[in-house]
Structure 1
Amino acid sequence: MSESADTAEQPNPHAESVLKLAAAMQKATLQFGGVVALVAAITFTVLYGTSGLLGSVVGSAVAIVSALGTTAMMRKTANLPVSFMMVVALGGYAVKIMIVFGVMFALRGVDALHTESLAFTMLAVILVAAFAEFRAFKNTKIPTLIIESK
């Protein structure tokens, strides 16, 4: 019994690195994504008025929630075995894409939203969030295996 108690108390080093990376990715996504969302909201308000603002705000919200879904999946699956975590990640991305398409499909008929403002803001925020996540991965000090091919 003492062996199982000892193993239960030992921290999972893989989970620790995943949680550390998730925190760094979330912080970077909110910082960079928030700046892009603000710039887009100002730009599309000047160009298209209230409908541009509303489209930009909705596009930003959908994109940021989608990007934060990645870190939420990482936090929820951090203690799972690595192989199962990858299955959940791939399935989670597929579900996330379907949800984003469903939201966009539902919003296509809303006249108060400027369509191009929504689309371009969402595209910009998603691209910047992906860059921010990559940058966070690169700058976070976690054990990483890089195999050099010859």
Structure 2
Amino acid sequence: MSPASYQVPAPLGKILSRLPAYPGSVLFAAGLNLALARHLPADTLRLLDGRKLRIQVRDAGVAFDFIWRDGSFSAARHGDDIALTISASAHDFFLVAQRKEDPDTLFFSRRLVMEGDTELGLLVKNTLDAIDLSVFSPGNFLAAHLPGRAARAGKSSNMVD
């Protein structure tokens, strides 16, 4: 099976689609706060403020609704007032996150779909494209999230000569 055709197996997608949406959105928002929020520019956060976004993983049958409000991402209940929905397969999201696939290529091949506020979609895409991926390396991540000595130990243990 080629990477472009990889899909979450249908039986697993069927099970995942039956899970309640809100707990997944809570975990997703917590992950965004932990890994991403500190790297987003203040002007972007101002434009995101109060706007409900949805990430929909089509083949897994799940969607995560979240909002930037009061200085952090938080889960939002599923509803119709979504400003922007970004949907793709789990594998395509994974490829975009690793920068092994360009979101524009996926968009024009209809593997990534944006619905709603187009301007907001471009803001999100361009903001994520501008983030230096090295901030997500294990050493840098530990240094940013662990206090003092533990952070230094984590950072030094991930160095390769």
Q: Which band: TM-score by shorter chain?
A: 0.3 to 0.5
Choose between structure 1 and 2: higher helix proportion: 1
Structure with the greater relative contact order (CA < 8 A, sep ≥ 6): 1 or 2?
1
TM-score by length of 1: 0.33
